[in-house]
A and B are shown apart, each in its own frame.
Chain A
Amino acid sequence: MRDDIINAVGLTKVFNGDVVAVDHISFSVREGEIFGFLGPNGAGKTTTINMLITVIKPTEGHATVCGYDIVKQAGEVRNRIGVVPQEYTADEDLTGYENIILCGDLYGIPREVSKKRAAELLELVELTKFKDKKVETYSGGMRRRLELACGLINRPRVLFLDEPTLGLDVQTRAAIWDYIRLLKEEFNMTLFMTTHYLEEADALCDRVAIIDNGKIVKMGPPDELKRDLGGDIITLEIQAGDVEVANLIEEIPSVKEVKKQDNTYRIKVEDGEKTAPMIIEAIRNKGYAVTRLSLTKPTLDEVYLEYTGKSMRDEQGGRMSVWSQRRTIRKARA
């Protein structure tokens, strides 16, 4: 228990009496790890983060951050955490430097201290050159870096990052990943992040929890989750299929499982490179034509598909979250 810096038990949030955003989730995060919440929009990631950072109160269940209760000792929690919200919350009318100092003031950090830290942090996120420019002139990557710096002004023990790379281009995203890794190494900071980019969770997180419809459906290190899937996946499309084809495929010894979706089969196999030709042959012999075949080594994508039964695409979120995401993406690409 002592190594768990975040501990949630039966955490639940119901909005307006009947919309269950987060449904009795329990998990713990160890000190010093990067823990990722992975799921589509509307799955309950942001709601969970908002409960942990004490912005909203849970309907049921409880959680501790740094050993303090998020409801009863919210002030203690707030002093020890840093938050990088999904949105660009820096005030556009102020300069980058003014924004960091403002954050320092909100934490009640004495000015001499926050000035020194601001200079260090601007250096860290490479914004020193632009510190006296208004934030409205910043690019998406610069804004995100500024948010990172703001979230670090109080030297938090846990940093919460909500969709840290939403809407950023691939290069900028990789740069942000580097900063995140740096934070972990340099400050031994615990990072709790949400993302709906599977490759992001894969690249950064020590452990991930897959969240769907407000519930955690699977939790563990990315590698372990992939290994648990057991082998490669062949996706096969044939012209006109019936049950017989599925049976046919299943007869091949190295095939573990066949799932059918319309004319597409998801086949879990061992040693995909050798099994694929065998499958094609078997189907051809019965007079069916294979129109498309792909072989994938397991990624979190497959893990996700496996446990939620659907591919990761955006789901309908609330009015507020749709707005905020659109706004974030717009600014990121400005």
Chain B
Amino acid sequence: MEPKEDHQEGEGVMQNQVSTNPLHGLGALTHRELKKWYKEPIVLFISVVQPVIWMALFGKAMNIGGIFQNPAVPRAVAEELMKSTFGTPDYFSFMAVGMLSFVTVFTSMFSGMSIVWDRRLGFLGKVLSTPVARGAILFSKIFSAVIRSLVQSGIVLLVAFLLGLRLGPSFTPLNLLGVFAVLFLMCMGLSSIFLLIAIRSTRWETQMAVVNLLNLPLLFTSNALFPTSIMPEWLRMISKINPITYGTDAGRQLLLYQTNASQLAVDFTFLGIFAAIFSTIGIFLSWKYLSK
């Protein structure tokens, strides 16, 4: 059977103009996600304030450097101990960069939730009935998580400066771009993973449970809060496959340490591959599994 011509001429039947761009809709869907965030003052406020609170309370309360501020420990020794453990004389700076990863991890984790809601509220079904590329549906979620977490990280970084983050000897403003590039890759990979977990789910309870199960282990098996050099061997092995370790290390290389170019290259390569693999799997599976 020959398919009929698009639209016959005649009353009320009009020519349809359709974009041939396979990415059409990506911008619109991403913008929709972000609108829900920036148009809702309370949501915006909380998402900005939360990392700041973490930063100020956790970062200042865990005053590890204070342990060595003891007359029995010579000042030079204390400084050396801190430096050899954390790579910087002050724990707050060390932890502040870890907090950037922390914010990224949390924002990525919740990207899975929104796809569950879209499914439950029927929005996903409607989008699936339009010619939007299936990959664009997933990618709009990834990009909105990335943009959100970059904005949040920027604020965290600003607050960290105000609270006394000490920049390293090789820091230049250009390094900031590097930090955001690292966070971009990390968030892209992580949110792809959490979206993949959610891709067929209809229960947000399951998603909540997954997030609760994974968030702290992900952080504790990385160098975000504590250096891996003083971890037991088995834990260090785990931290070697944890992308957060690489993201945080790259952040520290760029902000705090005398930058070690080869280590930085390793970090970027690992994160680049990590983000590429999981977002590709994401595109592939969303064609296959978004519709039942």
Taking beta carbons and an 8 Å cutoff, which residues of A are in contact with B?
1-2, 15, 50, 53-57, 64, 66-68, 75-76, 78-81, 83, 85-89, 91, 93-94, 98, 102-103, 105-110, 113, 150, 154-155, 157, 160, 186-189, 319-320, 323-324, 327
Contact = CB atoms under 8 A, between A and B. Distances in A.
Main secondary structure of the interface of B (DSSP, over half): loop
A320 to B, nearest CB: 6
A107 B129 CA distance: 10
B122 A87 contact: yes
Nearest to A157: B7
B129 A55 contact: yes
A94 B35 contact: yes
B32 A94 contact: yes
B127 interface: yes
B291 interface: yes
B120 A154 contact: no
A243 B131 CA distance: 61
Contact of B24 (A15, A93, A108): A108
B125 A85 contact: yes
Interface in B75-132: 120-123, 125-132
Given A83-B129, A109-B19, A67 B3 contact: yes
Interface in B35-93: 35-36, 39-40
B25 A105 contact: yes
Given A108-B25, A113-B17, A89 B123 contact: yes
Contacts of A324: 120, 122
Interface of B: 1-4, 6-7, 10-14, 16-21, 24-25, 27-29, 32, 35-36, 39-40, 120-123, 125-132, 202, 291-292
A93 B125 contact: no
Contact of B130 (A68, A76, A87, A103): A103
Contact of B25 (A50, A81, A106): A106
B35 A79 contact: no
Nearest to A86: B122
Nearest to A106: B130
Given A54-B128, A66-B3, A108-B24, A154 B16 contact: yes
A70 to B, nearest CB: 11
A155 B16 contact: yes
Contacts of A113: 17
A110 B17 contact: yes
A110 B21 CA distance: 11
Contact of B13 (A66, A93, A94, A188): A188
A78 B133 CA distance: 11
A93 B131 contact: no
A78 B25 contact: no
B122 A109 contact: no
B190 to A, nearest CB: 25
Given A67-B1, A187-B13, A323-B120, A93 B28 contact: no
Given A55-B128, A155-B16, A186-B12, 14 more contacts: A78-B130, A79-B131, A80-B6, A83-B129, A93-B40, A102-B28, A103-B130, A105-B28, A107-B18, A109-B19, A150-B126, A154-B16, A187-B13, A320-B202
A93 to B, nearest CB: 5
B32 A102 contact: yes
Contact of B39 (A81, A93, A157): A93
Given A102-B28, A106-B132, A324-B122, A56 B291 contact: yes
Contacts of B202: 319-320
8 contacts: A54-B291, A56-B291, A66-B3, A78-B129, A83-B126, A106-B24, A189-B12, A324-B120
B28 to A, nearest CB: 3
A108 B13 contact: no
Nearest 6 CB-CB pairings of A with B:
A108-B19, A105-B28, A67-B3, A87-B122, A108-B24, A187-B12
